[in-house]
Amino acid sequence: MVTIESLLSNADLPDSPTPGLDAELLLAQALGKSRGYLHTWPERELEASQHERYQAALARRRTGEPVAYILGRQGFWSLDLDVASHTLIPRPDTELLVETALALLPVTPLQVLDLGTGTGAIALALACERPAWQVTGVDRVPEAVALAQGNGTRLQLANARFAESCWFSALAGQRFQLIVSNPPYIAAADPHLSQGDVRFEPSSALVAGVDGLDDIRVIIEQAPAHLLAGGWLLLEHGFDQAEAVRELLAQRGFAAVDSRRDLGGHQRISLGQWPL
């Protein structure tokens, strides 16, 4: 007899840092139920097809494939987003970018740009919290643009739109009060690229040259042409890159340059204001 309880107590995910949570999420999907259902009905027996779906999902997880890719969904901010293997998986650290943007700018109408939008996570979180803002998310990967647009449509966020663009390449003449980005910022030789979930994520969304700052340099150099006077640029970066990013911002002429710490105490984002 195969029950929910027996499966959860024998998940066999030795390489996962969160085997219990992984098993619950994968089993809930196989059953088409919530995680709460698993604890309410632990004695429930699985149908053969449900058991097969669960075992197939476990097998994928044992190879190291991220749970978010297996489920096709990931939570970010207050949103439930569709994800796919051609985009990064939204992470809690990036919510600091959203928090900082919301605190910096007023609730009145303004234009916002999210560079390298991926799933649309940042753009959609801002659009959800600030209905008066018009948020544009761009990505150079057509599949990512389609995914982000699909998320926006499903969440009924009409104040967010998405377009294909390699950074600012398709945005000639457009200016914004706020530009945000979680760009690639990992150095090409970083050993973490061959570890954990990151192995399955697109390297083009992770790696940015020898020191991890190539894309950040491009964004900082080009952003002033697309910022209104007094507008802000907010960038996520690596835990040890804040000083270098602040220096790049200051050299380009940004004012009020600063960094903000994530819940782990790392300086995770840096920002600057284009002078009035």
Q: What is the mean pLDDT of residues 107-119?
A: 97
Are residues 104 and 12 both part of a single domain? no
Are residues 97 and 201 both part of a single domain? yes
Where does the pLDDT of residue 187 fall: very low under 50, low under 70, confident under 90, or very high at 90 and above? low
Q: Which domain holds residue 20?
A: 4-63
Are residues 228 and 101 both part of a single domain? yes
DSSP helix/strand/coil, 183: coil
Q: Specify if 70 maps to a domain.
A: no
- Residue that finishes a domain, picked among 19, 39, 63: 63
Pairwise CA distance, residues 241 & 235, whole Å: 11
Task: Give the pLDDT of residue 12.
Answer: 81
Do residues 98 and 75 touch, judged by C-beta distance below 8 A?
no
Percent of the chain with pLDDT over 70: 92
For residue 180, the one-letter residue type is: V
Q: How many domains does the chain have?
A: 2
pLDDT digits (tens, 9 = 90+) for 246-261: 999 999 999 999 999 9
Are residues 268 and 217 both part of a single domain? yes
Instruction: Supply 198's token pair.
Output: 């990151």
Instruction: Supply 226's token pair.
Output: 């697309």
Query: What does the H/E/C string look like for 49-72?
Result: HHHHHHHHHHHHHHCCCCHHHHHC
Are residues 124 and 168 both part of a single domain? yes
- Residue that finishes a domain, picked among 35, 63, 91: 63
Cut 0.75: pTM above it: yes
Task: Give the pLDDT of residue 162.
Answer: 98
Instruction: Supply 3's token pair.
Output: 């029950």
Pairwise CA distance, residues 70 & 236, whole Å: 26
Task: Give the pLDDT of residue 207.
Answer: 64
3 DSSP 8-state letter? B
Contacts of 138 (CB under 8 A, 6+ apart): 113, 114, 115, 116, 117, 145, 162, 163, 164, 165, 167, 170, 171
Domain of 260: which CATH number?
A: 3.40.50.150
Task: Give the position of tokens 């609730």.
Answer: 107
Task: Give the position of tokens 């964004």.
Answer: 219
Q: Specify if 71 maps to a domain.
A: no
Where does the pLDDT of residue 17 fall: very low under 50, low under 70, confident under 90, or very high at 90 and above? confident
25 DSSP 8-state letter? H
Using CB atoms within 10 A of its CB, is residue 263 exposed (0-12), middle (13-18) or buried (19+)? exposed
pLDDT digits (tens, 9 = 90+) for 69-93: 999 999 999 999 999 988 889 999 9
Q: Specify if 108 maps to a domain.
A: yes
Q: Specify if 69 maps to a domain.
A: no
Are residues 122 and 220 both part of a single domain? yes
Q: Specify if 72 maps to a domain.
A: no
Are residues 47 and 91 both part of a single domain? no
Q: Specify if 262 maps to a domain.
A: yes
Are residues 27 and 128 both part of a single domain? no
pLDDT at 206 over 70: no
Are residues 59 and 157 both part of a single domain? no
Are residues 205 and 97 both part of a single domain? yes
Per the prediction, the chain carries an average pLDDT of 91
Percent of the chain with pLDDT over 90: 73
Q: Please choose, from the candidates 17, 39, 32, 16, the residue with its C-alpha nearest in 3D space to the C-alpha of residue 7.
A: 39
Task: Give the pLDDT of residue 116.
Answer: 96
Are residues 34 and 105 both part of a single domain? no
Task: Give the pLDDT of residue 193.
Answer: 58
Pairwise CA distance, residues 104 & 198, whole Å: 31
Q: Specify if 240 maps to a domain.
A: yes
Backbone angles phi, psi at 181, to 5 degrees: -160, 140
